[in-house]
Amino acid sequence: MNKVSIGLRGWRFDESAVFASDGSFLPLDEMPADTRRRVNRLTALVNRPCGACWLEHGDEEVERCNTARVVYGEPMAEVVLCDDHEPDFVYWFNEAGGSRYRGGDDLDDAFYEWFLENGRAPDGYAGVTHVDSDPDALPDPEAALDATRDDAESEESGKDVDDKGDIREGSDSDAESELDDNDGDGSDDPELDLSREYPRSR
């Protein structure tokens, strides 16, 4: 099954979980829960400044921050990075103990803390090579919201979709708390593929 990134490199999805057979986005409520959560989250992340740049420059000089190109981690605890800073994250994850935060909700805090204490990859550290090298060529996650809106408009079935594309569905928050409960292990959750959005050891 083909895997695809949306908006940013890093998170990868089964094509059949996000696209209809004609290549358009599926409405969010037709995606598997974990996929829906990530695609929804990506719509908020695509234009963010790189988190590491932001720590260096802050809001006062936000125009000096590079736009994020890659995302690692779990939704709401993710790290978004530019190409220049991605090797620092990969080094931290693979060589400096970062992998112990895999799947957890403090991965972002742990990385940023290390970065603030001048944690950096050594010069020339290669990091990972990506199948998808150009985020500008990736599908825009906003299109998933459009597909969802179109779908909601075309059926009168009353799926409760608001303007931001939030789908109010009881099962969604339940799924999230289940994920939180298993301490980031996630091995018993068949929908959570923890191998896909973290750097692989070389």
CB 50 within 8 A of CB 82: yes
Q: Given the rule CB under 5 A, which residues bind Zn ion? A: 50, 52-53, 66, 82, 85
H-run or E-run covering 195: none
**CB-based burial of residue 152 (10 Å sphere; 0-12 exposed, 13-18 middle, 19+ buried)?**
buried
Shortest Å, Cβ 103 to Zn ion: 24
State the Rg of the chain over Cα: 17
Write down the least CB distance from residue 195 to Zn ion, Å. Answer: 25
| Euclidean distance between CA atoms 116 and 88, whole angstroms | 12
Least distance to Zn ion, CB of residue 52, Å: 5
Determine the 3-state secondary structure of 201 from DSSP. coil
- Cβ-closest residue to Zn ion? 50
Which is nearer to Zn ion, 31 or 53 (by Cβ)? Answer: 53
Least Å from the CB of residue 45 to Zn ion? 14
21-24 long-range contacts, CB within 8 A, separation 24+: 24/143, 24/147
Comparing CB distances to Zn ion, the nearer of 36 and 85 is 85
Tell me whether residue 55 or residue 194 sits nearer to Zn ion (CB atom): 55
CB of 48 to Zn ion, least distance (A): 11
CB of 80 to Zn ion, least distance (A): 9
Whole-number Å distance between alpha carbons of 108 and 142: 24
Q: Per residue in 104-117, is it b (16+ CB within 10 Å) or e — as a string?
A: bbebbebbbebbee
Looking at beta carbons only, is 51 or 141 nearer to Zn ion? Answer: 51
- Residues with Cβ within 8 Å of 173's Cβ and at least 6 positions away in sequence, in order, are none
| Nearest CB to Zn ion, comparing residues 19 and 93 | 93
Q: Which is nearer to Zn ion, 27 or 135 (CB)?
A: 135
